[in-house]
Amino acid sequence: MSERSVSRQKQQKQWYTVQAPEQFDREKLGETPADESDKVLGRTIETTLGDIRNDASGNNTKLTFKITEVASDTAYTEFIKHEMTRDYLRSLVRRGSSKIEAYVTVLTSDDYRVQIQPVALTTKSADESQEKAIRREMIDLVEDAAAERTFDDLVDSVVEGRLSSAIYNETKTIYPLRRVEVQKLTLEARPEEVAAEEETSVDVSED
């Protein structure tokens, strides 16, 4: 390929400004290049809550967005993951205390399927029955929170720390806790994907 052809290809690439969803105030997430707009679709952008809000206290929270639409020179995204950094989670663990995790898959009130992973850290070592009781309470609270909220509202409650605070307040009566965090929230399926899966399972069962 000639140098002229290479330079022409480079000139054809366009930069697209990537925007966060409306619930994150359409903040600019960065820019991404492509020679065709369709090639931008499906790309993921990872940033931190600190970068979006210009607040260093949010640097322990990673957020991932997926490009779902392109118009002109702007790429629009949907939220797909919230995750605490490993370093931050590691810093919460103390000797002689318990780390209690749960993995909960839920449907929101508008039929998004989401996996949420809360973690509770006790002040001292809890026994097995206490750990089990705390885990059960965490699961129940996450399921209730999802059933009562839309996907956007559930994401807000996690990002703003309201869900972890609610879990902390309810479970600290079982055993003294030092901290509760939602270490990860992942979008597993959108409503149309959930509906398609349900149709498939119905078809199979009828056969």
Which residue segments constitute the domains of the chain, with CATH numbers given?
Answer: 11-84 (no CATH), 86-194 (3.30.479.30)
Q: Would you call 130 exposed, middle or buried from its count of C-beta atoms within 10 A (0-12, 13-18, 19+)?
A: middle
Residues 67, 80: Cα–Cα separation, whole Å: 10
pLDDT band at 6 (very low <50, low <70, confident <90, very high): low
Name the nearest CA neighbour of 135 among 101, 180, 182: 101
Q: Model confidence over 49-64: pLDDT tens digits?
A: 999 988 998 999 999 9
Residue 89 has pLDDT above 80, yes or no: yes
Name the amino acid, one letter, at 71.
A
- The answer on pLDDT for 74 being more than 90 is yes
Q: What is the mean pLDDT of the chain?
A: 91
Q: State percent of the chain over pLDDT 90.
A: 81
Checking if the pLDDT of 202 tops 90, the result is no
139-162: pLDDT as tens digits: 999 999 999 999 999 999 999 999
pLDDT at 85 over 70: yes
- Calculate Rg over the CA atoms of the chain: 21
The reported pLDDT for the residue numbered 9 is 52
Q: CA neighbours within 13 Å on the CB side: how many for 29?
A: 29
- Whether the pLDDT of residue 3 is over 70: the answer is no
Q: How confident is the model at residue 13 (pLDDT cuts 50, 70, 90)?
A: confident
- The pLDDT of residue 10 is 54
Give residue 30's pLDDT band: very low, low, confident or very high (50, 70, 90). very high
Q: Which of 192, 184, 182, 194 is nearest to 113 (CA)?
A: 194
Supply 137's token pair.
């309470």
CB-based contacts of 27, cutoff 8 Å, min separation 6: 19, 20, 52
What is the token pair recorded at 40?
């931008």
Helix (H) or strand (E) run with residue 175 in it:
none
The single-letter DSSP state of residue 145 is H
